[in-house]
Amino acid sequence: MSGIDLSFAGDVRIQTVQELAWPGVALDFLLHQVPHAEFAQTRAYQDERFVDPDTRELRMSYHSTVLRTPHGNVLIDTCIGSDKHRPLIERWHQQKFPYLERLAALGLAPVDIDYVCCTHLHADHVGWNTRLENGQWVPTFPNARYLFAEPELRYWEQVRREDPAHIFSQSWDDSVLPVIEAQQAEIVSPDHEIVAGVQLQPAFGHSPGNVVIDVRYGEDHAVLSGDVMHHPVQIERPDWNSVFDQDRAQAQATREALLKRVANGRTWLIAAHFAGPTALTVTKDREHFKYHSALRTRS
């Protein structure tokens, strides 16, 4: 399994909880407008951590990130979830993932989570918001405040109202609405500070209210980028949009701006679907971004 365990200044720890390692993702599933010949010219294509050397299919991961801070435990993005009705994607449909067991392996129970934050409300980022209990969807983390960026929540609320058959209306019903009805939801601005040193930042494009999570303690810095990038090849080629980016022009602009911000060789970039090592650093060589899997020496 992929996973990270980073220690930051101020008794802060960043860890991942993997739900699903998906080693055989077809290029067309994620980057359907990218010619295979162009993909074959990238560094990521030759990187066996991110592309299967035999099939040349993508390696992806579905995982949450846990921030342990002196001010509370924050869980970012809750993956696909178990028992969810997702017939359009077999890997998501009616699964039984040992997610809570893997959380327990980090020494955390659901009651230990103080905040849950979804970077956006696509089905594979909200699944463990709830679990099935006696035939009802109930919040998985009973003591947590679930933080939803207002533009994102309002958009999907409207989608659900106007198009009940939408692919993500089902995940609204089983993974978002029960949290609201349990009065555990907190609607926040897209630049909301969760706890000291941990702040949402607007990153629109992939979805209308998409956010990233900025983590700063002393000289230590990480950005939890959600789906601004789905695969490390998009560091090399930020002009390549995912199939799932709703506003393609805005998604590309957001990706390029984020890469410029973290391209100092010191900031950890932690994406929601990067296979191991999951956390990368970025530098810029002339006009091109490069990823690294080890923290470069501070100048």
Q: Is the peptide bond before 277 cis (omega within 30 degrees of 0)?
A: yes
Give the pLDDT score at 276.
86
**Beta carbons of 120 and 210 less than 8 angstroms apart:** yes
Residue 56, token pair as written in the block: 């040349």
Q: Count the residues in the chain.
A: 299
For residue 104, being part of any structural domain is answered with yes
For residue 197, being part of any structural domain is answered with yes
DSSP codes joined into one string, 254-267: HHHHHHHHHTTTTS
Give the pLDDT score at 295.
58
Give the pLDDT score at 277.
87
Q: Which domain holds residue 196?
A: 5-226+269-275
Give the pLDDT score at 286.
84
For residue 247, being part of any structural domain is answered with no
For residue 299, being part of any structural domain is answered with no
Give the pLDDT score at 297.
39
For residue 284, being part of any structural domain is answered with no
- The CA-CA-CA angle for residues 168, 171, 136, to 5°, reads 155
Query: Which CATH number fits the domain that encloses residue 188?
Result: 3.60.15.10
Q: What is the pLDDT of residues 234-283, one digit of tens each?
A: 999 999 999 999 999 999 999 999 999 999 999 999 999 999 889 999 99
Q: What is the pLDDT of residues 21-37, one digit of tens each?
A: 999 999 999 998 999 99
**Beta carbons of 184 and 136 less than 8 angstroms apart:** no
Q: What is the pLDDT of residues 78-132, one digit of tens each?
A: 999 999 999 999 999 999 999 999 999 999 999 999 999 999 999 999 999 999 9
Provide the number of structural domains found in the chain.
1
Query: Residue 167: left if φ>0, alpha if ψ -120 to 50, beta else—which one?
Result: alpha
DSSP codes joined into one string, 125-158: GTGGGEEEETTEEEESSTTPEEEEEHHHHHHHHH
DSSP codes joined into one string, 187-222: EE-TT-EEETTEEEEE-TTSSTT-EEEEEEETTEEE
Residue 184, token pair as written in the block: 């555990």
Per DSSP, 13 falls in state E
For residue 258, being part of any structural domain is answered with no
Q: How far is CA 26 from CA 55, 84, 180, in A?
A: 9, 23, 36
Give the pLDDT score at 293.
87
For residue 291, being part of any structural domain is answered with no
Report the percentage of the chain scoring pLDDT > 90: 93
For residue 246, being part of any structural domain is answered with no
Q: Is the pTM of this model over 0.85?
A: yes
Give the pLDDT score at 236.
97
Average pLDDT, the chain: 95
The CA distance from 48 to 249, in Å, is 30
